[in-house]
Amino acid sequence: MQNFTFQNSTKVIFGRDKEKTVGTEVKEYSDHVLLHYGGGSIKKYGVYDDVIDSLEEAGVEVTELGGVQPNPRLSLVEEGIEICREKDIDFILAVGGGSVIDSAKSIAAGVPYEGDVWDFFAGEAEIETALPVGTVLTIPAAGSETSPAAVVTNEEEDLKWDIGSNKLRPQFSILNPEITYTLPDYQTACGAADMMAHIMERYFTKTEDVELTDKLCAGTLRTIINNTPCALKEPKNYDARAEIMWAGTIAHNDLLGTGREEDWASHAIEHELSALYDVAHGAGLAVIFPAWMEYVHQEHVERFAQFAVDVWNVDPDFYNVEQTAKKGIEKTREFFSSIGLPVSLEELGVPTNKLEEMADKCTSGGPVGNFKSLDKEDVFRIYKLSQNKR
């Protein structure tokens, strides 16, 4: 096990009707907030009214900025920064999923910074301070509600890059599983794939003697695998929704990566898909991750065999570890397909005429991944493996 420092200061407020307490939480930090959200779903299903009523009751002034899209746009981040500066707003409240929260974090980083907020994403500046952020989570998927990271799309340059700093962890996050009852099946499934990918980026490591986090990763994966079909079949099953929502937070709050080297190649490879074609991140990961697994599994075939046994209950073949490993990869792909996700670029509706360009962009800063270092040619081959359904 490697040395590590684990620090996660986000206060998690979990359960029924907890969004109605948001005013009390915000009031501890500010009297004037930027309320940041996406489309019309929070208004359609009543979450917006509950949040506004709670903020007004607490005496918090509200300035709104809606319009966050999946794969959040840099242009809206820049608009939010200007609004906060002009109105002297000192707290960002994100009501939505990962895209809304990531956009809010990016605004929070940009407001006190004198330069261009994209400097942080381009690696030309470090985040020294940021406005505090709070969240009301409506889509369990990205884990951004307790993570230090944010991802934004620069639409002018077709780039989807990330930033990370403990200064971006939300001060509090409110999680009510009931809010997720109205999610479309596809969003629920994409969220499950996103969570699973966050865990698998950590699970596939060459770090030895990490039994505890191996078991935590496997258990969280099994929880998602067991409860997602239930939530799809019974959208108002509170217990299934609660398990999924909490698993999504645990998947990306850094606990599962303690003491182990993480990979993150699959996320880098997928980001080129969603930057160029604006596909749902979880759907892109359902295509890319099994292809990555297929390409790299021989780098440490025993770990892939362990994954097959611990996560998918594959019967181990002690005389053919390779076969056991491959069954785990097949099970992963089959699960994604079973919950209605694409498992090939063809199913995703992505043309294949820009695979080399995407591979080039993906590795423009050098090779990606730690489990196996991948250069441009490796990434191109993974894209090729993901072209057609297996």
Average model confidence (pLDDT) across the chain: 97
Last residue of a domain, one of 178, 195, 214: 178
The answer to whether residues 215 and 160 belong to one domain is no
Beta-bridge partners for 62:
33
Return the pLDDT at 339.
98
Last residue of a domain, one of 178, 211, 226: 178
Whether pLDDT at 318 is above 90? no
Backbone phi, psi, residue 179, to 5°: -60, -25
| Residue 149 placed within a domain | yes
Domain that holds residue 117: 11-178
Return the pLDDT at 39.
85
Question: One-letter amino acid identity for 315?
Answer: D
CA 55 to chain centre: 27
Q: How far apart are CA 139 and CA 98, in angstroms?
A: 7
| Residue 2 placed within a domain | no
Q: Is the dihedral of CA 196, 202, 204, 209 positive or negative?
A: negative
The answer to whether residues 174 and 56 belong to one domain is yes
The answer to whether residues 174 and 253 belong to one domain is no
| Residue 234 placed within a domain | yes
The pLDDT tens digits for 227-276 are 999 999 999 999 999 999 999 999 999 999 999 999 999 999 999 999 99
Residue 304 sits in a domain of what CATH number?
A: 1.20.1090.10
| Residue 390 placed within a domain | no
| Residue 52 placed within a domain | yes
Strands of the chain, DSSP E: 11-14, 32-37, 61-65, 92-96, 133-137, 149-154, 159-164, 172-175
The answer to whether the beta carbons of residues 100 and 36 sit under 8 Å apart is yes
The pLDDT tens digits for 285-306 are 999 999 999 999 999 999 999 9
The answer to whether residues 56 and 93 belong to one domain is yes
| Residues found in the chain | 390
First to last CA, the chain: 36
The answer to whether residues 136 and 209 belong to one domain is no
The answer to whether residues 207 and 159 belong to one domain is no
Instruction: Write b or e for each residue in 5-44: b if 16 or more Cβ atoms lie within 10 A of its Cβ, otherwise e.
Output: eeeeebebbeeeebbeebbebbbebbeebbbbbbeebbee
Return the pLDDT at 138.
97
Q: How far apart are CA 254 and CA 16, in angstroms?
A: 25
The answer to whether residues 130 and 26 belong to one domain is yes
Return the pLDDT at 40.
82
Last residue of a domain, one of 149, 178, 207: 178
| Residue 6 placed within a domain | no
| Residue 1 placed within a domain | no
| Residue 378 placed within a domain | yes
The answer to whether residues 195 and 324 belong to one domain is yes
The answer to whether residues 171 and 204 belong to one domain is no
Q: How far apart are CA 319 and CA 160, in angstroms?
A: 44
Residues 30-40 have a mean pLDDT of 95
Residue 169 sits in a domain of what CATH number?
A: 3.40.50.1970
Q: pLDDT tier at 359 (50, 70, 90 boundaries)?
A: very high
**DSSP assignment letter at 28:** T
| Burial class, 152, CB count within 10 angstroms (exposed 0-12 / middle 13-18 / buried 19+) | buried
Whether pLDDT at 97 is above 80? yes
Q: What is the token pair recorded at 34?
A: 């930027």
Q: What percent of the chain has pLDDT over 90?
A: 97
| Burial class, 302, CB count within 10 angstroms (exposed 0-12 / middle 13-18 / buried 19+) | exposed
State how many domains the chain has: 2
The answer to whether residues 320 and 367 belong to one domain is yes
Whether pLDDT at 9 is above 80? yes
Q: Is the dihedral of CA 254, 259, 265, 268 positive or negative?
A: positive
Q: pLDDT tier at 390 (50, 70, 90 boundaries)?
A: confident
Q: pLDDT tier at 162 (50, 70, 90 boundaries)?
A: very high
The answer to whether residues 232 and 295 belong to one domain is yes
The answer to whether residues 151 and 198 belong to one domain is no
Q: What percent of the chain has pLDDT over 70?
A: 100
Q: Which ranges of 150-280 does DSSP label H, i.e. alpha helix?
A: 185-203, 211-233, 238-251, 265-277
Return the pLDDT at 389.
80
| pTM of structure | 0.95
Instruction: Write b or e for each residue in 232-250: b if 16 or more Cβ atoms lie within 10 A of its Cβ, otherwise e.
Output: beebebbebbbbbbbbbbb
Angle subtended at Cα 50 by Cα 45 and Cα 54, rounded to the nearest 5 degrees? 170
